[in-house]
Amino acid sequence: MIISPFVFYISLAIILDVIAVIVARYWTLTGNQWLLYVVVALYAGVGYSFAKSLKYEGMSVAYIVWVTVVAVVITLLGHFIFKERLELTQLVGVFLAVIAVFLVNGK
């Protein structure tokens, strides 16, 4: 199965963004300066991948997909990895964000 260039680049941007946020969180916990350099490098990759995705999809759709998917994944990882507490309204928001991605991305 061959994926579209948009799906490839937006997925790469999402993956790099999620990794960057997790590494940034570990930097705040450890103070290891090298982790901060890794975060900066990862965000360079995020910017490149997102910019490439714009060649294949409109800016509004690409941005909403990217930001929403990252927000949902980071929220869930924060809860499960870092034991951050989620209120019921936050869980409802995550659920609605997932629905939003499907609605915006559907053609």
For 9-23, write each residue's pLDDT tens digit.
Answer: 999 999 999 999 999
* Site of tokens 């990895």: 81
pLDDT, tens digit, 9 for 90 and up, residues 26-62: 999 999 999 999 999 999 999 999 999 999 999 988 9
Q: Report residue 97 as tokens.
A: 């964000």
The conformation of residue 21, written as its DSSP 8-state character, comes to H
> Length of the chain, please?
107
Pick from 38, 61, 66: nearest CA to 50: 66
Cβ atoms of 53 and 62 within 8 Å: the answer is yes
Q: Is the pTM of this model over 0.95?
A: no
Enumerate residues 6+ apart whose C-beta is below 8 A from 82: 25
